[in-house]
Structure 1
């Protein structure tokens, strides 16, 4: 469509901002940065724009919306494409990274939408012996202070190194604690690591890996509170003594869901020891 030049009129800065669904402050900033200049500036400093400038402005706003810098936008709009190549490559890399991030978010959401229903969780504080499959976990550094502050610090450090989205996915999580079953009272002083199952993708991070071997385990489902865990440990200790079982000294604390609510734990979980 063409417009009769005689019908053209100048737009005030507020009018152009409204037409482009942006702000007056944004247009002033773009002018000061040499990115988008008004068609005319009056002797008193008022900025005026032509209707034809709207399309250029909306292109700029669109590029800003996807996160490109002012320098990158200037390069994209530059007439000299050779000088713009580094900026264009940087912009392309940023867009590619954004696409990959969105694809990962989409995969996590799809995973949560399509995950199969969980089997009945099991009775609380009723130890059993079960044969479990092997699993590989990313693990945090070892911590020895089981205070709320230390757990929060370790949790933050671990998931920042791993991936913020890892907290949302349905992979198994929990803790590995150095605690013999015969010492339930030593739980609060025992060293521990945070765990997150790799789901077969161990090369995505530089975090150390630890393998939970397949085999027979003695385990009990508990409420993930200090009282609940202590009760569960006492039940396991008594069960092992009565049955003549000889568990390892590594306590696997496995969350039974993916909705972490406090101190990196779900409301309920499993306490597990591998059997010799």
Structure 2
């Protein structure tokens, strides 16, 4: 490669510094075919171009989202605006789903914490009457039993119904008499 051509390329160390991807990771990506330099010299030196910074940023983003390297490799092998749009839309849907799941977990955690704090400060020396705002409840099939002898099929049906209706497990259970 001529000196003038070399000035248009970035060495692996320069590319690593700019892209904030470790040099070893770039070598690994090259060896596995996930992301390769634009030019590899006969002496094995790897050279990258400035336009590859966008591609490695997308590779890194997909990796952070938990996409397997085999799928990232497939994406980089068939890179096109249409493929990028399709892939990023799919990843966005996955991320929204994960965020909703984490929000549900956070809500459950907050509710459990609130119930524990209420329990610790509750008076146990008499009957209390409390008023609550109206909230929806999720009800299982009716059964005749005490808590220790609830038939397994009642629990199984109830939790299946919860899952089908996207109701998280772990909310307080109670009885209607």
Q: TM-score, normalised by structure 1?
A: 0.38
Structure 1: gaps (5+ residues): 138-175, 179-193, 216-276
Structure with bigger gyration radius? 1
CA distance in 1, matches of 2:25, 2:5: 29
1:8–1:51 contact (8 Å) kept in structure 2: no
Correspondence 1:38 to 2:37? yes
Alignment RMSD (CA, Å): 4.5
Question: After superposition, where does 1:1-276 map in structure 2 within 5 Å?
Answer: 8-77=7-76, 78=78, 92=90, 96-110=93-107, 112=110, 118=118, 120-123=121-124, 176-177=147-148, 201=162, 203=164, 204=166, 212-215=174-177
Residues 46-99 of structure 1 show CA distances to partners (whole Å, capped at 9, x for unaligned) of 2122223222221221222212223323443415899x7xxx68x93x653442
Deviation at 1:202, TM superposition (A): 5.6
Structure ranking higher in strand proportion: 1
Q: Number of matched residues?
A: 139
CA distance in 2, matches of 1:16, 1:80: 22
Counterpart position of 2:133: none
Q: TM-score, normalised by structure 2?
A: 0.54
Greater RCO structure (CA 8 Å; 6+ sep): 1
